[in-house]
Amino acid sequence: MKHSLLFVLPVLALGFAGAPPATAAQDACVDQEAVILSARTPEVDLFDAPSGGNRVMSIARDQFPTCLPILAQTEARMLKVDIDGTEYWVAPHMVQFRAGHVDPPVCRTLAEGGDETRTGTTRGLGEGC
């Protein structure tokens, strides 16, 4: 038991010491709301349209700009950005981003067709309406 702990502890210490801080990109962009913090994939594809668009180019992770303002976002979550004076669309799974807005609450007729709330039947449906 002692031998396994002696092996595990140094390995864990090296893992934590070598890992970059998780919030480094967020700290650099603290004053901006809707912003792409960094690239998540090895290459980020840039498209000319939000849906059904053609891939115009790809940018390597280390070349992708940080703190890139998001100009617009579609319902499918595609992000519109401006890179060197040209507007592109980026898929959200390729980048780490912070959205500038909160989705509106779901407001619809509550359970059983009535407008009165019954405890335990709605589970948050209608909150904020």
Tell me, yes or no, whether 35 lies in a domain.
Answer: yes
Tell me, yes or no, whether 93 lies in a domain.
Answer: yes
This prediction has a pTM of 0.59
Q: What's the CATH number where 92 sits?
A: 2.30.30
Tell me, yes or no, whether 2 lies in a domain.
Answer: no
Tell me, yes or no, whether 73 lies in a domain.
Answer: yes
Q: What span, in angstroms and rounded, lies between the C-alpha atoms of 22 and 3?
A: 31
Tell me, yes or no, whether 115 lies in a domain.
Answer: no
Count of structural domains within the chain: 1
Domain extent, residue 40, equals 23-98
Which CA distances in Å does 65 have to 105, 112, 120?
33, 51, 47
In tens digits, the chain (129 residues) has pLDDT values of 555 545 544 444 444 444 344 455 556 777 778 999 999 999 999 999 998 889 999 999 999 999 999 999 988 889 999 999 999 999 999 999 988 765 555 565 555 555 555 555 555 555 555
Tell me, yes or no, whether 114 lies in a domain.
Answer: no
